[in-house]
């Protein structure tokens, strides 16, 4: 028996496709005679499960929008024409204390935020802490009685193909539930935040869903929805629950996230580097700079060393290494498996506080007139097509925007760059506070990046 499904885009039809596939499976495996009774029963059970899930999770999801203090000078009482539009969603994780998790970009720059509960009750929330590196924020509201709260699941156990449900307020449509699957795991290099290890889902996510929960079929929060790709369909991203749980715990305890600092510049192991070092391409990351006085320098790490493991966990990309180091606390000693001159060694390093170290680095670097204002150095390439980034200063604009050593800059503000001199001349023509829009090539892929001069 062959079933052909028409190409469709809405997720409501996607759910029906799942159901009818189940019916087809029963028909094919148990016989057509059973399809009517068994199939109808299966559909009823699945529908009942989804309705039950919605009833369970919807009360814990809130709408977040800009808080405007009441003032007669702003608008007349009862006139809502100036009311701000909804900015995003959040999920209550502690109903007794009124603790809500959302995205940092939803509350960025706000000390207060308007929180709308299911049913329309409005409260004023206080932003307790934010973490820009993971795009997580914590908000608290005063409550008269305990509120329904969601529970975290274990995102480490997720598998591609599992069902997923998102609840949020897309385009101001409060209390919206959508259904899909887990499309991918461990997505990085999406350029959404510094620490990227996203869950990819085809569950319908739109502006206004940011900060809302992604849930499994048991109603456990497996991620916090954070972004979509505007020019694509059915590609959304969520921050894994295990990362959210750790970040929230530190924001509540310290008001900030405390992360370890190693003090090295790194790059991926290309085929050429792999051939020279007798490792596989993509195995480990290579150190291309060691900052004097920092933990790596004190532990004896050198330029050219390849870091294979951190604390026993494999390192395969620069992004993964950054996440691993950041997962350790300042002052903690970790073991690094490295490859040096073809020999494997284990080096112990006591990490420092990343935030304090980066703050010091920024203060040290930015006022120094001998260093580029954007915080990078470039050099010529043999074919005269662009310049290659030879160094990115820690804490600089270039580092914060994701530029890496080894990136090739082909054009700035629409002007082709052939030499380091031309690159400098173009930057000199950009006024202070102006943008330098760069065309960058990395691993045969090109993208645009804007730096403030």
Catalytic, 431? Answer no
Is it true that 57-68+85-257 and 369-452 share their CATH fold? no
User: Cβ distance 437 to 399 under 8 Å?
Assistant: no
Q: What are phi and psi of 399, to 5 degrees?
A: -70, -40
57-68+85-257: CATH, from 2.40.30.10, 3.30.1600.10, 2.170.150.70, 2.40.10.120: 2.40.10.120
* Range from 203-207, 239-243, 368-372 that averages highest in pLDDT: 239-243
* pTM value surpassing 0.75: no
* Model pLDDT for residues 95-122, shown as the tens digit of each residue: 999 999 999 989 987 889 999 999 889 9
pLDDT at 29: 46
Q: Which of 105, 197, 277, 319 is catalytic?
A: 105
Cross-strand partners of 126:
112, 140
Count Cβ atoms within 10 A of the Cβ of residue 365 and give its class: 0-12 exposed, 13-18 middle, 19 or more buried. middle
For the segment 258-264, the average pLDDT, to the nearest whole number, is: 89
Report the SS3 class of residue 86.
strand
Q: Which of 131, 135, 202, 294 is catalytic?
A: 135
* Model pLDDT for residues 358-414, shown as the tens digit of each residue: 554 433 333 344 445 678 888 887 766 788 998 888 878 788 788 888 888 988 876
Name the pLDDT band for 153 (thresholds 50, 70, 90).
Answer: very high
Q: CB 279: neighbour CB atoms within 10 A?
A: 17
Q: What are phi and psi of 45, to 5 degrees?
A: -65, -40
In eight-state DSSP terms, residue 4 is: -
Q: Which residues contact 109 (CB under 8 A, 6 or more apart)?
A: none
pLDDT at 85: 37
Q: Which of 65, 183, 210, 396 is catalytic?
A: 210
Name the pLDDT band for 52 (thresholds 50, 70, 90).
Answer: confident
Please state the domain extents for the chain.
Answer: 11-56, 57-68+85-257, 260-356, 369-452
Q: Which residues of 433-453 are buried (b: 16+ CB within 10 A; e: fewer)?
A: eeebebbbebeeeeeebebeb
Whole-Å CA distances, 438 to 181, 264, 412:
36, 25, 4
User: Cβ distance 25 to 48 under 8 Å?
Assistant: no
Catalytic, 135? Answer yes
Measure the CA–CA gap between 229 and 372, rounded to whole angstroms: 33
Residue 419 has pLDDT above 80, yes or no: yes
CATH superfamily entry for domain 260-356: PDZ domain (2.30.42.10)
Catalytic, 11? Answer no
Q: Which residues contact 295 (CB under 8 A, 6 or more apart)?
A: 261, 262, 263, 349, 350, 351, 352
Q: CB 143: neighbour CB atoms within 10 A?
A: 14
Within its chain, how far is the Cα of 438 from the centroid?
23
Q: What is the CATH number of domain 369-452?
A: 2.30.42.10
| 31-38: Cβ within 8 A, 24+ apart | none
pLDDT at 9: 39
Measure the CA–CA gap between 294 and 101, rounded to whole angstroms: 34
């Amino acid at each position: 028996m062959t079933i052909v499904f028409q190409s469709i885009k809405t997720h409501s039809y996607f759910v029906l496709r799942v159901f009818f596939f189940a019916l087809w499976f029963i028909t094919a495996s148990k016989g057509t005679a059973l399809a009517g009774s068994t199939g109808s029963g299966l559909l009823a059970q699945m529908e009942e499960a989804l309705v039950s899930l919605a009833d369970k999770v919807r009360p814990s999801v809130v709408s977040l929008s800009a808080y405007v203090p009441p003032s007669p000078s702003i608008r007349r009482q009862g006139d809502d024409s100036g009311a701000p539009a909804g900015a995003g969603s959040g999920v209550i994780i502690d109903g007794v204390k009124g603790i809500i998790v959302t995205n940092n970009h939803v509350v960025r720059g706000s000390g207060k935020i308007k929180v709308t509960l299911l049913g329309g009750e409005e409260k004023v929330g206080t932003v307790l802490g934010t973490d820009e590196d993971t795009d997580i924020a914590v908000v608290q509201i005063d409550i008269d009685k305990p509120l329904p709260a969601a529970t975290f699941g274990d995102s480490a156990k997720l598998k591609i193909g599992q069902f997923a449900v998102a609840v949020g307020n897309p385009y101001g449509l409060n209390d919206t539930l959508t259904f899909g699957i887990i499309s991918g795991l461990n997505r990085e290099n999406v350029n959404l935040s510094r620490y990227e290890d996203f869950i990819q889902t085809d569950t319908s996510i739109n502006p206004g869903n940011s900060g809302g929960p992604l849930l499994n079929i048991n109603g456990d929060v497996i991620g916090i929805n954070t972004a979509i790709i505007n020019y694509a369909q059915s590609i959304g991203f969520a921050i894994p629950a295990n990362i959210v749980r750790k970040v929230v715990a530190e924001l509540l305890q310290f008001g900030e996230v405390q992360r370890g600092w190693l003090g090295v510049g790194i790059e991926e192991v290309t085929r050429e580097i792999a051939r020279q070092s007798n490792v596989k391409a993509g195995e480990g990351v290579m150190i291309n700079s060691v900052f004097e006085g920092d933990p790596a320098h004190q532990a004896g790490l050198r330029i050219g060393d390849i870091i294979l493991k951190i604390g026993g966990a494999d390192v395969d990309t620069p992004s993964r290494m950054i996440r691993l180091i950041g997962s350790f606390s300042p002052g903690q000693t970790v073991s690094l498996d490295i490859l040096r001159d073809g020999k494997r060694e284990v080096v112990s390093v006591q990490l420092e506080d990343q935030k304090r170290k980066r703050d010091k680095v920024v203060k040290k670097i930015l006022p120094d007139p001998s260093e580029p204002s954007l915080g990078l150095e470039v050099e010529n390439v043999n074919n005269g097509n662009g310049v290659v980034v030879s160094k990115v200063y820690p804490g600089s604009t270039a580092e914060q925007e994701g530029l890496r050593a080894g990136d090739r800059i082909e054009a700035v503000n629409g002007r082709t760059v052939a030499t380091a001199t031309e690159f400098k001349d173009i930057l000199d023509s950009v006024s202070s506070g102006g943008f330098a829009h760069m065309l960058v090539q990395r691993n045969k892929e090109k993208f645009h990046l804007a730096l403030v001069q």
